[in-house]
Amino acid sequence: MLPDTSLQNHLDISHIRSSCASCSLRELCLPVGLNEHEIQVLGDVVSHKRKIQRGGYLHRAGAKFQSLFAIRSGFLKTCVLEQDGRQQVTGFHMTGELLGLDAISTDTHTCDAVALEDSEVCEIPFAKLEEISRIIPSLMRHFHKMMSREIVRDHGVMLLLGSMKAEERLATFLLNLSRRFLVRGYSESDFNLRMTREEIGSYLGLKLETVSRAFSKLQDENIITVDNKHIRINDIARLRMKMGNSSCIT
């Protein structure tokens, strides 16, 4: 199913007046290793904030690409929608991560990006980013590393989808989430999932019932405690064992 034409409105941010010059740039992924002046330059580029309500679209597949989006807060999924209505989730994304890298290749977004909770993003006009990255080599270098990291991440998911069993996949998924929460200052062992079992299943190449059973199995073994969307990891070491000895999904 192709997106309708009205979706362009979703990218129209002209009505938004940013109140913050740099959109809390320091919280973003980009300015790593930049000096004050460089952050100032970058801040002039990343001037537009945008809020997306839970369930709202940041962009849809087929939309013209103009900007990358840095997530300031919230939680989003990216997915492709197939003709029969099924969706394949290609990733879950949280604060500090960069969305839209896939769209650079054809100047068209190749997936939908949907907020799984109220979210806020900073818009980064890509042409401007390329422009100033010529002036600030460390920014260019960092941007290249971020694109490369996305490739490495995808290879990890390919390994997971191509060779892991259901329980291994779920363990890997939970540990990945756990680590990302930890890095952001949240508990690594106690968190709420923002996505449904079906979305997890889509991401992991499993049916929702299989995901549910895998949760129950891990709970029966006292490795985790599941209460609907709330997860507590009781024994992270044993959860790592479940994953097998792989370091994939970064």
Give the residue with the Cβ less far from DNA, 128 or 207: 207
Smaller CB distance to DNA: residue 131 or 209? Answer: 209
CA nearest neighbour of 184 among 92, 77, 89, 97? 97
Q: How far is the CB of 53 from a copy of itself (least distance, A)?
A: 25
Site map (CB under 8 A) of a copy of itself, residues 116-155, x = contact: --------------x--xx--x--xx--xxxxxxxxx-xx
Task: Tell whether the torsion through CA atoms of 132, 134, 138 and 139 is positive or negative.
Answer: positive
By CB under 7 A, the residues from 121 to 180 that bind DNA are 165-167
- Cα 149 from Cα 221, distance rounded (Å): 34
213 interacts with a copy of itself by CB under 8 A: no
All residues at 6 or more sequence positions from 50 whose CB lies less than 8 Å from its CB, including other chains = 13, 16, 58, 69, 120, 121, 122, 123
Exactly one of 35, 187, 192, 216 binds DNA (CB under 7 A); that residue is 216
Span of 73-81, 115-123, 136-144, 201-209 interacting with DNA by CB under 7 A: 201-209
Q: How far is the CB of 242 from DNA (least distance, A)?
A: 12
CB 233 within 8 A of CB 178: yes
Taking residue 23's Cβ as centre, other Cβ atoms within 10 Å add up to 25
